[in-house]
């Protein structure tokens, strides 16, 4: 019965409204009192049924809800013959619930939009080699799939062949197409805007990044902050208190109408709904713009952060080193570079990749007798020559003699913040290369935005050498810079900052910086859409987009402010209404319920402003 009545609540609201309108038409146009009274009576009974059923359900679990207060008030008004009051109160209460649901559905639009983006079908390669359209549930890890222009990528996968541009807005919040070719990753729910690609499935179903994002946002929007939990506890005791107050007023004043009016006006509806709607709207805004805020508690804490510590590589920098300085001592520079390229082609080290990118047209020779010296580099035979590639310790190990000029050059390269790669040919130093990670584009501009948001301390914590860290700190105008730090050192440093009273956020890659992400008040992952980053942090900046960090902080602070505004509005309206019950003559149940429902609508509209928030 309850389920049936609840499903018809909107229709009941409409019928009640029509009956009330007809009643007033009968009174003012037809001048018929009977035709005025009976529609009001029917509207009262009809409107009270769903409210009374909800009140009964609440009482069964020992909760004195708002529905209980309204039900008692309506029954009381009906008993004393105030049919107009009872009809209007039930209609406004039901109509307010209808508006709440409609507007709350709008604030959850991020989830709806994401869910609608989820792919349903895929073109799967069958044993015959042909591609056949199948349901997404029929795709397994390792399957080869075809994605055509305009189609959604069905799973997380790796491009096997073909090229195209993919719109990754559902993952990163950026609609600018990203070029995809062999070996690059693609994500479920993104759209291939042009081209045709074949991909191998890496993650399917609930394991895809897209599914994890939907799950995360749903959990975050349903989570409760400390403020919300306090309001829940407050409402639990406040509602019975209003009931007791009305009984006391009735006993003292013998005025049943006054007591019933107190029941209606004391409903804490706006207080109960105000904070959750801000939470849902704020988190929904972030989800649409590549910022995942993991719950209302994270929003509240993030809004109070005054210190942000950064890992360097992959956070302030792009995580892709490039050769920036070179010094060659060999009489045959071209051949020296060819020998270096031949050795580095045998390695998958990140510095080796930078060197090969720097020498794109090298002539490669056969590499023999390779000997990897742990922590130092590689020694090998190339074209009849002994080639050593590595750091200064490798040169000492291989007894390479360095002139004063070479030592001075190496020192200068290090002072510039470079990682040094030395190459010797037949025990003679031939090449010095300085390799440096590049700062993220516009990172200084985004750090300045954080300062404008009243972040007092911007600190870099890195495992790189101090000279490199100092150079980056000076270039970005950071507050402090610490190099040569292990993950445990970073975590300990954050703990010291917290002991001094700072609210600290740490920004890292979500993998090797997990101790710091856990220790910080707020862990922020430059996620790149990885499941590791999503699971180990409080905030995820999808696709490692640093520009999202100021937006995320601004959104968190706007959401926290919005929650406070809604609390003030809700409490202020209840105080205003109750005060006017005792100190004015114009206040009655109908007016009070109208103001009460209006206050609920105001806090919902105020919360919905967050859906359009953008950092100025």
Catalytic center residues: 311
Q: Specify the length of the chain in residues.
A: 616
Do 343 and 422 meet the contact criterion of CB atoms below 8 Å apart? no
- Rounded distance, CA 506 to CA 309, Å? 5
For residue 591, give the nearest of 577, 603, 570, 573 by alpha carbon: 577
Which sign, positive or negative, has the C-alpha torsion 278, 280, 285, 290?
positive
Kindly state the greatest CA–CA separation across the chain. Answer: 115
- Rounded distance, CA 318 to CA 404, Å? 35
For residue 524, give the nearest of 495, 556, 477, 564 by alpha carbon: 556
- Rounded distance, CA 395 to CA 330, Å? 16
For residue 312, give the nearest of 162, 506, 548 by alpha carbon: 506
- Rounded distance, CA 95 to CA 12, Å? 10
DSSP-assigned beta bridge partners for residue 420: 434
Q: Across 426-476, where does the E strand assignment appear?
A: 428-436, 457-461
SS (H, E, C) 506-574: EEECCCCCHHHHHHCCEEEEECCCCHHHHHCCCEEEHHHCCCHHHHHHHHHHHHHHHHHHHHHHHHHHH
Name the token pair of 173: 């919040």
Burial label for 463, CB within 10 Å (0-12, 13-18, 19+), is: middle
| Residue 390: partners with Cβ closer than 8 Å, 6 or more residues away | 373, 376, 377, 378, 421, 422
- Rounded distance, CA 586 to CA 27, Å? 22
Do 202 and 156 meet the contact criterion of CB atoms below 8 Å apart? yes
Other beta carbons within 10 angstroms of residue 303's beta carbon come to 20
For residue 377, give the nearest of 414, 321, 429 by alpha carbon: 429
DSSP 50-75: HHHHHHHHHHHTT---HHHHHHHHHH
DSSP-assigned beta bridge partners for residue 196: 163
| Eight-state DSSP code of residue 152 | B
Q: Across 246-319, where does the E strand assignment appear?
A: 291-293, 307-311
């Amino acid at each position: 019965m309850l389920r049936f009545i609840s499903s018809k609540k909107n229709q009941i609201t409409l019928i009640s409204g029509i009956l009330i309108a007809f009643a007033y038409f009968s009174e003012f146009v037809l001048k018929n009192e009977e035709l005025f009274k009976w529609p009001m009576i029917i509207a009262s009974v009809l409107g009270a049924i769903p409210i009374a059923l909800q009140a009964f359900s609440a009482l069964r679990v020992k909760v004195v809800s708002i529905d209980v207060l309204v039900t008692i008030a309506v029954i009381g008004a009906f008993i004393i013959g105030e049919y107009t009051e009872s009809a209007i109160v039930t209609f406004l209460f039901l109509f307010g619930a209808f508006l709440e649901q409609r507007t709350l559905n709008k604030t959850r639009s991020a989830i709806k939009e994401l869910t609608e983006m989820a792919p349903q079908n895929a073109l799967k390669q069958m044993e015959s080699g042909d591609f056949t359209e199948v349901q997404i549930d029929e795709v397994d890890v390792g399957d080869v799939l075809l994605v055509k222009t305009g189609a959604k990528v069905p799973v997380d996968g790796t491009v096997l062949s073909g090229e195209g541009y993919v719109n990754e807005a559902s993952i990163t919040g950026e609609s600018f197409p990203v070029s995809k070719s062999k070996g690059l990753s693609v994500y479920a729910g993104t759209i291939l805007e042009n081209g045709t690609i074949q991909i191998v499935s890496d993650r399917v179903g609930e394991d895809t990044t897209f599914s994890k994002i939907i799950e995360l946002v749903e959990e975050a929007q349903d989570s409760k902050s400390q403020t919300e939990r306090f309001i829940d506890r407050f409402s639990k005791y406040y509602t019975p208190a209003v009931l007791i107050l009305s009984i006391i007023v009735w006993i003292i004043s013998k005025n049943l109408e006054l007591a019933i009016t107190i029941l209606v006006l004391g409903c804490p509806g706006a207080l109960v709904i105000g904070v959750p709607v801000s939470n849902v709207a704020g988190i929904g805004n972030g989800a649409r713009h590549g910022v995942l805020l993991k719950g209302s508690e994270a929003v509240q804490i993030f809004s109070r952060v005054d210190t942000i510590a950064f890992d360097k590589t992959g956070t302030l920098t792009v995580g892709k080193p490039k050769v920036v300085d070179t010094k060659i001592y060999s009489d045959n520079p071209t051949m020296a570079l060819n020998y270096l390229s031949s050795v580095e082609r045998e390695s998958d080290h990140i510095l080796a990749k930078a060197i090969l990118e720097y020498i794109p047209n090298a002539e490669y020779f056969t590499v023999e007798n390779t000997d990897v010296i742990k922590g130092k580099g590689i020694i090998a035979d190339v074209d009849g020559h002994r080639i050593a590639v590595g750091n200064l310790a490798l040169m000492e190990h291989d007894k390479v003699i360095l002139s004063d000029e070479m030592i001075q050059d190496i020192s200068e390269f290090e002072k510039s913040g470079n990682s040094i790669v030395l190459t010797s040919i037949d025990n003679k130093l031939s090449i010095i290369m300085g390799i440096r990670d590049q700062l993220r584009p516009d990172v200084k501009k985004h750090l300045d935005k954080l300062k404008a948001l009243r972040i007092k301390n911007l600190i870099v914590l890195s495992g790189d050498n101090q000279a490199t860290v100092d150079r980056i700190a000076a270039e970005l105008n950071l507050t402090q810079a610490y190099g040569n730090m292990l993950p445990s050192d970073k975590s300990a440093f954050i703990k010291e900052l917290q002991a001094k009273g700072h609210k600290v956020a740490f920004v890292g890659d979500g993998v090797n910086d997990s101790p710091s992400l856990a220790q910080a008040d707020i862990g922020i992952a430059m996620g790149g859409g990885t499941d590791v980053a999503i699971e180990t942090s409080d905030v995820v900046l999808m696709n490692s987009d640093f520009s999202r960090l100021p937006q995320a902080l601004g959104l968190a602070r706007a959401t926290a402010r919005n929650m406070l505004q809604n609390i003030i509005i809700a409490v202020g309206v209840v105080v205003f209404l109750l005060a006017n019950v005792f100190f004015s003559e114009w206040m009655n149940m109908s007016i009070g319920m109208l103001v009460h429902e209006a206050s609920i609508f105001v806090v919902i509209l105020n919360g919905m402003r967050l859906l359009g928030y953008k950092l100025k």
